[in-house]
Structure 1
Amino acid sequence: MRTNVKLPKFDTLVALYQKDPAAYEEFRKKYLNDEVASAPPQHRAALRDTLSRIEIARQKARTPFEAATVAYTMMCESAIQLRTEFRRLHYATAGLQASLVIENARQGSFHTWKATTVRGPRL
């Protein structure tokens, strides 16, 4: 994704929204679509899907605050899912490492494996 593109200042966006909500909405959609288009090809479909779900939720919302709350909730759910998958991967890796330690200990080569062990983050 493009990390060097600067958004207008918050106050500028607020002023645009207050003066011309349609222009603000056009800017918002173009900016988001440009970001999706600039993402690596393998991530674009998932990003388009996420953006579509957010847009549907925004249309159903009665207020801008409700729309922001829905988007925030979606973000939290995604973060929880990511953490769950990371933990699953971590535990699977730990199990594999334990199996290797046991196998190396049985073969009498524990000292060579221990020297190359890399510790991961604590969860």
Structure 2
Amino acid sequence: MEMKLKFSFDECAKLAVENPAAFEEYRKQLLEHEIQCSNPCNQRRLKGVQFEIDMARRKSKTPMASCLKVYALMMDYFYDKHLPIVNNCDVRQYAESSMKNNKKADVVRFPD
């Protein structure tokens, strides 16, 4: 069975119920496809994140435990790795400098 590499939640949910093994294979193909289509400088990091997710899922005894572990992993990733990058990037400097160069504007009142 040839599978399209296009995500559809409804199709994935149906496949997961009807054929869990086929769903897992399709999920892996989708993830690999998305990683391969990403910016080459991000691919190694994305593969590492996916590896951590896969290991957390594999170690979990129940689907709920898996969900909670992956959630905790993503929150740790966001707060430990993503926010420091965002806080130190040029976007912050740009926003701060643009606030310093603010020009005054006339405020127009609208009738009640």
The TM-score, its normalising length taken from structure 2, stands at 0.69
For each residue in 1:10-31, what CA deviation from the matched residue of structure 2 results, as whole angstroms up to 9, or x when unmatched? Answer: 3332221121110000000000
Asked if the contact 2:6–2:30 (Cα under 8 Å) also holds between the matched residues in 1, the reply is: no
Cα RMSD (Å): 2.4
Equivalent residue number for residue 58 of structure 2: 59
Gapped runs of 5+ residues in structure 2?
101-112
Look up the equivalent residue of 1:73 and give its one-letter code: A
Matched-pair identity in %: 25
Q: Which has the higher contact order (CA 8 A, sep 6+)?
A: 1
Summarize the alignment of residues 1-123 of structure 1 with structure 2, pairs less than 5 Å apart.
6-8=6-8, 10-81=9-80, 82-87=82-87, 89=88, 117-119=97-99
| Distance of 2:75 and 2:57 partners within structure 1 | 17
| Distance of 1:79 and 1:33 partners within structure 2 | 21
Look up the equivalent residue of 1:58 and give its one-letter code: R
Structure 1 stretches of 4+ with a deviation exceeding 4 A read: none
Per the TM alignment, residue 32 of structure 1 is displaced from its structure 2 partner at its CA by 0.3
For each residue in 1:82-111, what CA deviation from the matched residue of structure 2 results, as whole angstroms up to 9, or x when unmatched? Answer: 224433x27xx87xx9xxxxxxxxxxxxxx
Please identify the structure whose Cα radius of gyration is greater: 1
Gapped runs of 5+ residues in structure 1?
98-116
Which deviates more from structure 2 when the two are superposed, residues 46-55 or residues 74-83? Answer: 74-83
